[in-house]
Amino acid sequence: MTTQTYRIKGMHCASCATIIEKTFKKVPGVHLAEVNYGTEKVKLNIDETKTSPENLSKKIEPLGYSLVTQNAESMGMNEDEHAAHLGLNRSKKEKLAELAEMKSKVISAIPLAVFSIFVMVWEIGAKFNLFLEIPYFWEEFFHHLSPIMAAYMLFVVGRPYLLGFYRFLRYGKANMDTLIGIGTLTAFLYSFTITAFEETLKPFINVEQSYYEVTIIVIAFISLGKYLETRSKLKTGDAIEKLLNLQAKTALVERDGKELEVPIGEVVHGDLIIVKPGSSIPVDGVITEGASFVDESMISGEPMPVSKKIGDSVVAGTINTSGSFTFRVTKVGSETLLAKIIKMVEDAQGSKAPIQALADKISGVFVPIVLVLSFVSLGLWLLVGTGYLGFSQALSFGLVSFVGILVIACPCALGLATPTAIIVGVGKGAREGILIKDAGTLEKLHKVNVVVVDKTGTLTYGKPELVSIQNFSQGQTLGILERSDLELVAILASLENKSEHPIAHAIVSSAKGKNINLFSVQTFEAIKGKGVKGTILNVEYYAGNTKLIKDLNIPFYTTSIEKETMEGKTPVILAIRERVLGVVMVADAVKPEAIEAVKNLHKLGIKVVMLTGDNKNTAEFIAKQVGIDEVVAEVMPEDKLNKIKELQAEGKIVAMAGDGVNDAPALAGADVGIAMATGTDVAIESAGITLLHGDISKLVKAIKLSKITMTGIKQNLFWAFFYNVVGIPLAGGLFYPIFGILLSPVFAGFAMAMSSVSVVGNSLRLKTKKL
């Protein structure tokens, strides 16, 4: 069993997608076939012992479609293949070639349509005495020129629609091309018949009324609409193109003491890559030499360059701004974060939202129903209309209704409504550092009314930091210079530099961050469970907790630190044998953006609950700082899941934001799982949404993105339904007996073409929305 995604060539409308899907599902060995008209791709899960992609392609080739079996989407491909299957090499060239061909047909069709409209308006205006009668010479000229123009339009520009009609006759599969083909061919054949046998038919029907202009103008409008739609659809997927353009084509590798520029595909694990100012980082790795600031905006959405030094990770696609550095390669090709982001974005763009199910069902039965309605309308006009209008007029109105219904009832807008909005929404999210796993997640997110957050790594940085200093050494002389705050930190960091404790790392990191030089330490000793001691410049120092100070019988009143200790801060006391010199507080600091994010969630009417395994005092202090509505502290991972189930039982739609690893059960149990990530594989794969760089403010943006995307989808579906619900009865003549209104096939063609263009245009409008 393998699951892969393939491109499909030849799709023109939503009913095409339905035909392909149904054809595939009938083939033994196909367990899943999900066709997306918006991305023109199919997701297949097949048993390769029973069928193959090549066999499936043969099944749909007689219907005018084909499966592109090369460059199937998988995670094991190199960069060139990756770019190709995402549509930046051959597939995009094919799209542009198709667009150029469509453009040339439109350019030839529009003048003919304009000419036909001019003649049609002149004839109508003359009947109402608005214009002079057309001179006999020009009337005869138009009379003989119209069949030639209509023939060119039908058999050259309209060839795809005739093929759609042919496949319907041969295979019984109808799509939008079938409807247009039947309608325009009927109008042409009727008109050609009365032109060829004018004298013979004159006693029976009105031979002066032909419909060549219907064939010409309808095909011109529809061709223009399809051209605009195709051009617009190319723009919807530009997020993928922008992400792929981040990928460097070459890398400067250090091998055998030489700098070599090699293609990206030749870079291997362990290579040393040299990155110069202004260069794109080609693959993922860890800096071994040098330092710089790296622009990670296209990956994270953050505008400020990030400081990078030895030991820091760098990711493919980010831009080195100032300094030079060397890094060791840890991930290449499809392993890189950029490749995973591209894969995730494209999978999400190709997935179907639950709201699309209704549109898919309607599109699946739409074409057969429309065919029936068009014949019923023609029959009713002939049966009922003949008695009131006469046979000739009834036949004329019946043909107008028949062709009008076939032309206006195109399910393209319906098929494009959801996928185009999803493509734009997911792409916009990716540019903001919001990775969305699938369309279903994006849809659910807009309904969320409770957000559950983990404390560590979500509201806080997830690592202890030195947050405050109390200096008790001022004004004393104890063998070295009077201690400033920085000197206290220098002594503490010098001692703790020998320790492996996480709190010791926090103090050392703080000293390094302030560019404080450390002292040399003699006679270092770790005192288990209490702290450390060591000699610096012939002075013996102690650093540790209150137990250590108590054991040493050094006078110290803990009341000075009780308040901060109650807030969850950990004291580290620096002392000499006679007295305490100072106390530093180490804590997991709150992210500044967390406070603003919670405020914005409240503005959206969303309740915020904090779940943490930390002690109650610390949790409540953090919650008060940030503005959390409810706190549940001292819980195990399974308790977090139980709390989410409890909220869901109350009818709440719950989103859980956590670090993607120890919160896995809760993330899986929530309606929407949101991983606060620094680009880890686990985080990206464990949740429905991943927020790069662990920035909780992106959670608010993700919810806003979901809301504007769903609004866009609903607007699209409304207009798609509106066009058909109003257009079909109008074209069928339902309003003629009451209002005397009958929709001309010419206007039906224009409305049909514009329906698809308006839906794609509305989706593209989402790009301009501010999150």
Give the pLDDT confidence score for residue 732 in this predicted structure.
86
Does residue 252 register a pLDDT over 60? yes
Q: Contact, 618 vs 567, CB < 8 A?
A: yes
Q: Which residues are catalytic?
A: 454
Q: Mean pLDDT throughout 670-686?
A: 70
User: What is the percentage of the chain residues whose pLDDT exceeds 90?
Assistant: 21
Task: Return mean pLDDT, the chain.
Answer: 82
The domain made up of 1-73 is a member of CATH 3.30.70.100: yes
The 10s digit of each residue's pLDDT in 130-147 is 778 888 788 788 888 999
Per DSSP, the three-state class of 25 is: helix
Q: pTM value?
A: 0.69
pLDDT higher at 609 or 756: 609
pLDDT reported for residue 157: 93
| C-alpha–C-alpha distance, residues 53 and 44, integer Å | 9
Average pLDDT over every residue of 396-419: 79
Residues 6 or more apart whose CB falls under 8 angstroms from that of 707 comprise 446
Q: Is the pLDDT of residue 708 over 90?
A: yes
CA distance 469 to 493: 13
Least Cα distance to 438 among 556, 520, 370, 356 occurs for 356
Provide the pLDDT for residue 237: 63
Residue, of 354 and 763, whose pLDDT is higher:
763
Q: What is the mean pLDDT of residues 145-171?
A: 90
Cα distance between residue 375 and residue 388, in whole Å: 20
- Mean pLDDT across the stretch 119-131? 76
**Which run of H or of E encompasses 667?**
helix 664-669
User: Nearest 5°: CA angle at 94, between 35 and 110?
Assistant: 95
Given the DSSP bridges, would you call strands 450-454 and 465-471 parallel, antiparallel or unpaired?
A: unpaired
Residues 6+ apart with CB under 8 A from 432: 301, 698, 701, 705, 771
Hey, how many other C-beta atoms are within 10 angstroms of the C-beta on 355?
18
Q: Which of 657, 651, 664, 593 is nearest to 626 (CA)?
A: 593
Flag the least confident range among 21-25, 46-50, 244-248, 540-544.
244-248
**In 3-state terms, what secondary structure has residue 70?**
strand
Residue 683 has pLDDT above 60, yes or no: no
The CATH number for 460-587, chosen from 3.40.1110.10, 3.10.20.30, 3.40.50.300, 3.40.50.10680, is 3.40.1110.10
Cα(584)–Cα(502) distance, integer angstroms: 15
- The tokens 């223009």 sit on which residue? 224
Task: Measure the CA angle with vertex 746, ends 741 and 751; round to 5°.
Answer: 85
Read off the pLDDT of residues 223-232 as tens digits, 9 standing for 90 and up: 887 787 777 6
Average pLDDT over residues 648-673: 83
Which three-class secondary structure state does DSSP give residue 746?
A: helix
* pLDDT digits 0-9 by tens, 303-313: 567 888 899 88
Higher pLDDT, 270 or 663: 270
| Whole-number Å distance between alpha carbons of 321 and 309 | 13
pLDDT for 686: 64
Architecture of the domain defined by 267-330: Distorted Sandwich (2.70)
Distances (CA, A) of 135 to 119, 126, 155: 12, 11, 30
Stronger pLDDT, 16 or 707, i.e. the higher one = 707
Sheet-wide strand order for 272-275: 258-263, 250-255, 272-275, 325-331, 284-290, 313-314
| 28 burial level (CB within 10 Å; 0-12, 13-18, 19+) | exposed
Q: Give the whole-angstrom CA distance, residue 118 versus residue 58.
A: 46
pLDDT value at 579 more than 80: yes
* Torsion sign, CA atoms 512, 515, 516, 522: positive
pLDDT at 363 over 70: no
Reported as a single tens digit per residue, the pLDDT across 582-601 is: 999 888 888 888 999 999 99
Over residues 544-566, the mean pLDDT reads 86
Residue-wise DSSP of 246-303: TS-SEEEEEETTEEEEEEGGG--TT-EEEE-TTPBP-SEEEEEEE-EEEE-HHHH---
CATH class of 436-459+589-701: alpha beta
- Cα–Cα nearest to 541, from 531, 549, 533: 533
**Does the structure show a pLDDT above 60 at 84?**
no
Q: Is the pLDDT of residue 680 over 60?
A: no
Kindly list the distances between the CA atom of residue 259 and the CA atoms of 280, 450, 573, in Å, as whole numbers in the listed order.
17, 54, 50
Contacting residues for 74 by C-beta, under 8 A, at least 6 apart:
4
430-465 pLDDT, tens per residue?
888 888 888 888 889 999 999 999 887 788 877 788
Over 50: is that where the pLDDT of 86 sits? no
Q: E-assigned strands of 403-560?
A: 434-436, 450-454, 465-471, 522-527, 531-536, 539-544
3-state helix, strand, coil split of the chain in percent (to 5) is 55, 20, 25
Assign 116 to helix, strand or coil. helix
Q: DSSP letter string over 338-396? A: HHHHHHHHHHHHHS--TTHHHHHHHHHHHHHHHHHHHHHHHHHIIIIIHHHH-HHHHHH
Residue 709 above 60 pLDDT? yes
pLDDT at 194: 84
pLDDT in tens, 466-502: 888 888 876 554 444 456 788 889 999 999 887 767 6
Q: Tokens for 191?
A: 């008109």
Instruction: Check residue 540 and report its DSSP letter.
Output: E
Q: How far is CA 567 from CA 417, 502, 613, in A?
A: 52, 19, 15
Q: Tell me if residue 306 falls in helix, strand or coil.
A: strand
Please tell me the predicted confidence (pLDDT) of residue 471: 87
Task: Give pLDDT tens digits for 204-230.
Answer: 777 777 878 888 888 888 888 778 777
Lowest mean pLDDT among 178-192, 627-641, 659-673: 659-673
What percent of the chain stands above pLDDT 70? Answer: 89
HEC readout, 715-731? HHHHHHHHHHHHHHHHH
The per-residue pLDDT for 112 is: 92
Query: What pLDDT shows up at residue 85?
Result: 39
The ranges assigned to domains in the chain are 1-73, 267-330, 436-459+589-701, 460-587
Calculate mean pLDDT across residues 192-200: 86
Q: Residue 218: what residue type?
A: V
Mean pLDDT over residues 345-356, rounded?
73
Confidence of residue 286 (pLDDT cuts 50, 70, 90): very high
- Strand spans (E) along 117-220: none
Alpha-carbon distance of 83 to 88, in angstroms, equals 6
Q: What is the pLDDT of residue 456?
A: 75
